[in-house]
Structure 1
């Protein structure tokens, strides 16, 4: 499935900066989706010099069709991730403006979180760290995101 760039599904990464290396790894696994024009990706490290970071985050958090929550102890402990990004993501999910996908990175108590009722990735909501092969975990995530992006492209 190849979409025109203006039809690509925008993906927003909500993550704690301590998990940046894991986000980078996930981003590499989503490269084919980006090359095929299925998705475009955004995270706060793409904020250009001189831009107001809060405005940039708000803009992309409010325009993305898929919001990935990279769930770890760092993420849950981050006041900004929890109070701003999770809150807004779930508001947009409830109104069906966006699809929120929890990506479980680490062993953490997340099931009672506001996003705890959502189907998580990798497959079975099994933490990436629990997989013997992390590339297999990220493959599961990439395949899940591909399916969601196709669903959203068809419905838009």
Structure 2
């Protein structure tokens, strides 16, 4: 039986804007988790007019129980993604306040990053862009997220 919305796990998606198509696709693939009221997901395109975007991002990042880092060279290049969002996510993970999952969307060198020791999705960290069928890649990601939700 599904849980009510107040028990849905808050998911924060951190990504470089160059990877927005991957966020949109992932968000669609997570729709069944939302319909089952297992999650509520949020990313910066959900900021409404008049909101102070930095404050809204900080608030959402600080209360999310699950943080997805969409990994690409643009993510690593972005000072905001890397130095602010990812750094805060890793701080919260270290204190066991949130679960952080790197989601590799495009091939890049991420060895030696603070998140390199975390188990990545899709399986074996194979970048979504390299899958011959991206729906299968996103299904693999959602199944991994569902497994994490079962542990939270």
Which TM-score band applies after superposition, normalised by the shorter structure?
over 0.9
Displacement of 1:126 in angstroms is: 0.8
Distance 2:104 2:21 in 1: 15
Indicate the residue corresponding to 2:2 in structure 1. 2
Alignment of 1:65-80 (within 5 A): 65-80=65-80
Structure 1 gaps, min length 5: none
TM-score under structure 2 normalisation?
Answer: 0.98
Structure 2 gaps, min length 5: none
TM-score under structure 1 normalisation?
Answer: 0.95
Distance 2:106 2:37 in 1: 30
Distance 1:70 1:54 in 2: 19
Distance 2:131 2:20 in 1: 19
Q: Does the alignment pair 1:147 with 2:121? A: no
Indicate the residue corresponding to 1:103 in structure 2. 103
Count of residues in Structure 1 that have an aligned counterpart in Structure 2: 152
Instruction: Give deviations 1:73-127, integer Å, cap 9, x for gaps.
Output: 1111101001100100000000010000000011101121100000000011111
CA RMSD of aligned residues (A): 0.8
Alignment of 1:4-153 (within 5 A): 4-152=4-152
